[in-house]
Each structure stands twice: as C-alpha cells, then as structure tokens.
Chain A
Amino acid sequence: MARTNEFRDKKVIGALLARIAENKRSLPSPCRIMEVCGTHTMTVHRYGLQSMLEKAGIEMVSGPGCPVCITPGEVHEAAIRLVTENENVILATFGDMTRVPTHLGSLQNAVPAKGSAVKIVYSPEESLDLARQKRNKEIIFFGVGFETTIPSIAVMAKAAAGEELSNYSILSALWLIPPPLRAILESGEVKLSGFLYPGHVSAIIGQEPYAFVAREFGFPGVIAGFEPGDILLGIISILDQIREGRPRVANEYTRVVRPEGNPVAQALMREVLEPKDACWRGLGVIPGSGLKFKAEYSAYDAEVKHDLRITARGIDLPGCRCGEVLRGILPPSRCPLFAKKCTPESPCGPCMVSFEGACLVHYKYRGPKS
C-alpha cells in the first residue's frame, strides 16, 4: 500500500501540470497559493515543482509553517542556558533546533556544563526513556511543534506525571496553525488566491478549524498530502473552487485525513494543555495561537520547574529578515543576505537552519546558475 510511485511519476506529474496550466488559463492572474507547512515547501522545491508551476501560472508562497523558525530566539536562548549553566542536565531535542543562531550562539556550539549534554532525538519518547534510565540527570525535552507533534508531547507529559518522574520536564514551544492564518488574512499584507493546508496537522485537527478562511474571508483552501501528486491535485482543487466561486475547505488527502481529525489526539491535547497568546517570530503575539501546560502539569513544565522567565519578543537578530519570510512578504531569494552572508554553513537566522525553513529549502534545492 505504500505505492507512492504514482505520486512521483514523471508522466503523472507532467499530466497534472498540464491540467493546471489549462485550468489556470481561464482565470485572472496571478494565482498565488500559500502553504503553511515546511514539508510542503520541501516537496515543492525538492522536485523542482516551483519553476514548473510558475510556467503554469501558479506562484507558491511559503507562510509560517516551520515551527523551528517561528520559535522566538529567547526560547532557544533559554534552552542554551539550561545546558550551559547547569550541571547534569541533558537537553533532548530534535535535530535542527540545535543550529538556530541566537545572541548566545547556537545549541550545537554551546559548551555544556560539567555532566551536561545535548542529545538529539527522533521521537519525544526517547527523552522519557532517558529520564527513566538516567535518574541522576535532569532531563529536559525541548518540545517544539505544530498540532502534528503536540499530541505526542501531551502523551509524554501524561506519562511522566503517571510515573512521577521527578527528573523530567518539557520546555515547550507549541504552535497552532489556524490563528496565524487569521492574522495573515486580517493584515492583508500578502495578495493570495488560496491556501494549501498541512496534511498531517489536519490529520489531527480535521477540516473544521479552517472553515473560517472560506466563510469569513472567502478564500479557497485544500488539505493536501506531501507527494508531488498530492500537491498538484490540491492546486487543481483550488483552481476549481476559484472558477466555481465556491470557496470551501476541500480535502485531497482523504486517505489520511478524516473530516473530524483524530478525536483521541484532540482529547489528549485538551486534557494536558490550554491555549495561550503566543509570540511568533515575525508575527508578534497572536491570541490563542499557542498551547501551554495546565497547572496540574506544572511539575513537568520546564518553564515553571526551572523558573525560566522567558520574555519572548519574536524579533530577529540584527540584519536577519526571517520574520518577513515567515509572513510571506519576502521570498527567500529576495532577502539581501540570501546565499551571500546567509548560507547553511553560516546561517543568519532560523529559516536557513531548519530542514523545512523556506530559505534553506530554496538554497538546497536551487537549480544551476546556467
């Protein structure tokens, strides 16, 4: 059943692009579609779809779909301080978090205090295992993510509480997708024709949270999967919605996304977490856009347990313009630092660091100069 070949097949991709070009012809230009998921950004560029779509009259715009990128520098700095200023701390984190540049350098080149270390994990579960195995260390999991990852972090907190693990806590940066969509639409900064909604976030939250985009703002949108075929089918759906004058929340990714999402995951999130007004790099504070641990879980909330007092302002390092890239108003190639002062080896900001940061994706998958 993992027959993804058709979704990437050259002939199928060619046919889908031809269909898009055909449908686009009868519509007013330009057609600009925003995606808010780093994995969508990656797929579009890794397969060279960006330039092929431009030829068909479609411009893809990246929004704030990279959780590493939107996490303010102050949170990264708190993580760095935890491991450099305290002995016997193990900071468990996902890979690309370690390379984000901050006023204190990056986690990767921070020199830990005696007995402390940074450990890269693939699953939040590994951080819990660490806490169980190394009782003489304080384990802190740097839990960053959107709704795809948030339920698993909630599971970890619940498990830690159940086992009364006194040496475990989570430094969380948990982000919700629908609120920044509203903020972007309300600001009117970016001219858009529609949205591609993230397939796996939607597997958790379902279709309803995006309904306001169509109902209140009149914009078409489609939940799409992550193969090239999925994205192109999604674009065809948006073009149909524009042509019919019937904006809605369509679902191309029916094989994974149910209209109601994942109720078990949603219930777990509600049990452990509550909404907060989170500060996003580039977008500032957006009401109800983040989640934090409920009071009964404060023993596992690193911010409370270790009295971190983080005041996030969401401002970039001097010269860096990641905030504008995340708002969709500055394509990476138009940032004056892009590929000059700011490269993967010497990144100026998180968008060039995160595997799904728009700048890194544009850079890594760029075509030859000729």
Chain B
Amino acid sequence: MKKISLELGSGGKSMRDFIARTIVPAFKNPMLAELLDASHLPGRIAFTTDSYVVDPIFFPGGDIGKLAVNGTVNDLVVSGAVPQYISLGLILEEGLEWNALEKILRSLKAAASRARVEIVAGDTKVVKQGQGDKIYINTSGIGKVIAKPRPKLIRPGDKLILTGTLGEHSLAILTARGDFGLEARVQSDCAPLTFLLPFWKNGVLWMRDITRGGLATILSELTEKIPYPLLIEEDEIPLSKAVQAASELLGIDPLYLACEGRAVLVVPGEKTHDVLARIKKNPLGRKAAIIGQVEGKIGRPGELLLRTSAGGLRLLEPLSSELLPRIC
C-alpha cells in the first residue's frame, strides 16, 4: 500500500510534483492551478493560506506564532497585496504547557500589530497527547490587491535584488534543535516584508519570499516563467558569518536554505539603484544587495546560472530533496 513519506513535505521537487500531480488536479480550478503565493479573487481581494508545524516551537529570534503571522503576510505582500485580515486555526496537543501557549498568543498578537493585520476569525481544537506535536497553526490571510506581478515584462538587464542575508531562519532552527552539537550566534530572520509594498509602485516586476528550497529553488521557478536565463554572482550573496560557518561545517549550500523574512525582487535596470537605496534604509533591508541579473548574452532560457567565486560558471538546480548534511 502506497503511503505518504516525509519527503513530500520537504520543499523540494518531489513536493512540488506531489502538489502538481496529486493535489491540484483534484480540484480542477484555474486560480489554484497557477500555484501563486496568494490567489487574486474578484473584487481585488487576495487570499492565501499556510500551515505551521515547525519543531521546535521556540527558537532564537521567534516562535511558531511569529512564523504563522509573517509567513501568511509575506505570501500576500509578494503577490501584490496589502495584508489586512488573518484567520487563526490552532490545533493544540494535550499536555502543551499553558505558559507556552500564552507566549505564542502574545507573539501572534505582536506580529499581527507589526504587520498591521487583524486576526478576525479563528478556531481551536485539542487533540490527545501523541496525536499532534505540541501545537500546529494554520493561518489564512486576506489582503487588498494593489499590484500584479508582471513577469512578462521582465527583460535582459533587469536586476535581482536580495533583501538580506540567507539562511538564518534555517540555522536558528538547527541550533534550537541541538542538532549536530552546533552553537551558533544566530537569530531567525522571521519578519514581515510589508516594507516592500511601496516598491510595487516603483517598478518592481516580480518578487518572492525565500522560503523552503531557498534562493536557488525560488529563482529556478522564475526561470520557468520567463524566456531568459538568470545569472547570479556567488561573491555578491550576503551571508552572515554564522551561516557561512555552519554551511562549511555541515556541508550544506546556503543557496538552498530557507528564510522567513527575505525576498528576491526583479527590478528594471534603470530603477535598481534607487530601489536598493530605499530598501537599505529599512532595518530589515540593511544587507540588501544586487545579486545578479536577467541575462541576455550567456546561457539559455530556463537556465539559472551561478558565477562562482573562483570565476567558473555553472548551473544551479532547484532543491531536489530534503537538505541533508554531508560528512564526506
């Protein structure tokens, strides 16, 4: 009997295939089939949903509550909508500590205030001990559409801006789990991307938040939407020392690490410096950088290219499977 394996939730290709071949066809719906971060409904309403099952529920720089609000807020922002209302579904495991729940509720409230959204609907369930991992949260979000991503207008010479350093959320989780005996000075990058909303009016053509699968996976998905290759420069990717160290120690590539408060934007060449300067003025965008561009001279459509620090040129694939540390 065929059973669901953990790999199907990993964020890699097998998950995307699973969603495309099993989940979406069950509903035969053109809006769903687009697989956007948020669906744009009639009446300029954007709607999205996400579930949070992170382990551990508390980690340096945040907790599952903060994640649950910001994740849904960010899906709305990158789809071109101002986040307004959130619904909150809580599934609590019998035995969850009261203090833990209170802390998470406070986090949810704080994150909602910061992102200027209101939690207007909700549901709470309690399941038997052993049937849920402390707490699972689902948030759905509604926003007002103010722009539409326009990948069809993307041209060679348009630049890629990354709003900050990669991988801190992943590393914060690893450290909190105590995996690999690592002690890193790191905080999750979990944050609302609402500060990017004004840039929809400044010519930004497309943006995505960098979640499961990392930057390489997100940009690979973009190459499927445009008829040009993308080129990124390894030397330009902002990385904190902690992520650099952990990547080398564990043999993982930061280009595949999930973040929860970073985005990549495609900006027309002539607007790039202005957009970058303004992003950098925001504390969440201080380490923003131009990391590459839409290519016109080298590569072929559908290719995501990396120019390595040694000067070589190679292809970057989307994440094919759960990121595993290597030892050899």
A residues within 8 A CB of B305?
368
Distance (Å) between the CB of B204 and the closest chain A CB? 27
- The answer on a CB contact under 8 Å between A125 and B328 is no
Interface of chain B residues 283 through 328 with chain A (CB within 8 A) = 298-300, 303, 305, 308-315, 317, 320-322, 324-328
| Chain A residues within an 8 Å CB radius of B299 | 368, 370
Query: In the complex, are the beta carbons of B327 and A366 less than 8 A apart?
Result: no
- In the complex, the answer to whether A370 meets B310 with C-beta atoms within 8 Å is no
Do A365 and B324 touch across chains, with their CB atoms under 8 A apart?
no
Kindly provide the distance from the CB of A63 to the nearest chain B CB, expressed in whole angstroms. Answer: 15
With A48-B310, A108-B7: A370-B300 Cβ-Cβ less than 8 Å:
yes
- Assess whether B328 is in contact with A38, with CB atoms less than 8 Å apart: yes
Q: Is B327 touching A149 in the complex (CB atoms < 8 A)?
A: yes
Given A123-B181, A368-B305, A370-B300, A95:B13 Cβ within 8 A: no
Contact between chains at B324 and A95 (CB < 8 Å): yes
Contact A39 B328 (CB under 8 A): yes
Q: Which residues of A contact B14 (CB under 8 A)?
A: 345
A48 with B313: in contact, given A111-B3, A345-B13, A368-B303 (CB under 8 Å)? yes
Which B residues are in CB contact (< 8 Å) with A48? 308, 310-314
Who on chain A is nearest to B1 by CB? A111
Give the most central of A111, A125, A145: most B CB within 10 Å.
A111
Which residues on the B side are within 8 Å of A10 (C-beta)?
310-311
Residue of A nearest to B324 (CB): A95
Option from A123, A125, A228 in Cβ contact (under 8 Å) with B310? A228
B274 part of interface (Cβ distance < 8 Å): no
CA distance A201 to B308 in the complex (A): 28
B98 in the interface (beta carbon within 8 A):
no
Interface of A is mostly: loop
Pairwise interchain contact A109-B5, C-beta atoms closer than 8 A: yes
Q: Are B325 and A95 in contact (CB under 8 A)?
A: yes
* A122→B328 contact, CB < 8 A: no
User: Which A-chain residue is minimally distant from B297 (CB atoms)?
Assistant: A370
Complex formed: what's the CA distance from A66 to B6 in Å? 26
How many Å from the CB of A298 to the closest CB on chain B?
A: 26
Interface of B is mostly: loop
Q: Mark A20-60, 1 if CB is under 8 A from B, else 0.
A: 00000000000000000011000000111100100000000
Asked whether, in the complex, the Cβ of A111 is within 8 Å of the Cβ of B328, the reply is: no
Q: B314–A370 contact, CB under 8 A? A: no
Cβ of B251 within 8 Å of any chain A Cβ, yes or no, is: yes
How big is chain A's contact interface, by range?
A: 35 or more
CB distance from B219 to the nearest CB of A (A): 15
- Contact status B310-A344, CB under 8 Å: no
Nearest CB of chain A from residue B95's CB, rounded to whole Å: 19
Bound-state CA distance A146–B13 (Å) is: 31
Residue ID in chain B nearest A117 by CB atoms: B6
A38: chain B residues within 8 A (beta carbon): 328
Give the distance in Å from the alpha carbon of A149 to the alpha carbon of B303 in the complex. 38
CB–CB A94/B327 < 8 A: yes
Whether A122 touches B314, Cβ cut-off 8 Å, given contacts A108-B321, A345-B320, A355-B326, is: no
A262 at the interface (CB under 8 A from B): no
Contact status of A366 and B320, CB under 8 A, knowing A94-B328, A355-B251, A355-B326: no
A302 to B299 alpha-carbon distance, docked (Å): 50
* CB 8 Å contact bits of A350-370 with B (1 = contact, 0 = none): 000001100000001111111
What residues on B are CB-neighbors of A108 within 8 Å?
Answer: 5-7, 321-322
Closest to B304 in A: A368
Decide if B32 is an interface residue (CB 8 Å cutoff).
no
Tell me which residues from 1 to 31 in chain B have a Cβ below 8 Å from any Cβ of chain A.
3, 5-7, 12-14
Q: Are A47 and B308 in contact (CB under 8 A)?
A: yes
**Is B326's CB under 8 angstroms from A126's CB?**
no
B251: A residues at CB distance < 8 A? 355
Q: Are the C-beta atoms of A356 and B326 separated by less than 8 Å?
A: yes
Residue of B nearest to A38 (CB): B328
| CB-CB nearest in chain A for B6 | A108
Query: Does A248 make an interface contact (CB < 8 A)?
Result: no
**B250:A122 contact, CB within 8 angstroms:** yes
CB-based contact A99/B321 at 8 Å: yes
Q: List 30 A-B contacts (CB under 8 A).
A: A8-B310, A10-B310, A47-B308, A47-B312, A48-B312, A48-B313, A48-B314, A68-B328, A94-B325, A94-B326, A95-B326, A96-B324, A96-B326, A99-B321, A108-B6, A109-B7, A111-B3, A123-B181, A123-B327, A149-B328, A344-B320, A344-B321, A345-B320, A364-B317, A367-B314, A368-B229, A368-B300, A368-B314, A369-B300, A370-B300
Q: What 20 new A-B contacts, CB under 8 Å, besides A52-B312, A94-B325, A96-B324?
A: A10-B310, A13-B311, A46-B308, A48-B310, A48-B313, A94-B326, A95-B324, A95-B325, A108-B322, A121-B180, A122-B181, A125-B181, A126-B181, A344-B317, A344-B321, A345-B12, A345-B320, A364-B314, A364-B317, A366-B315
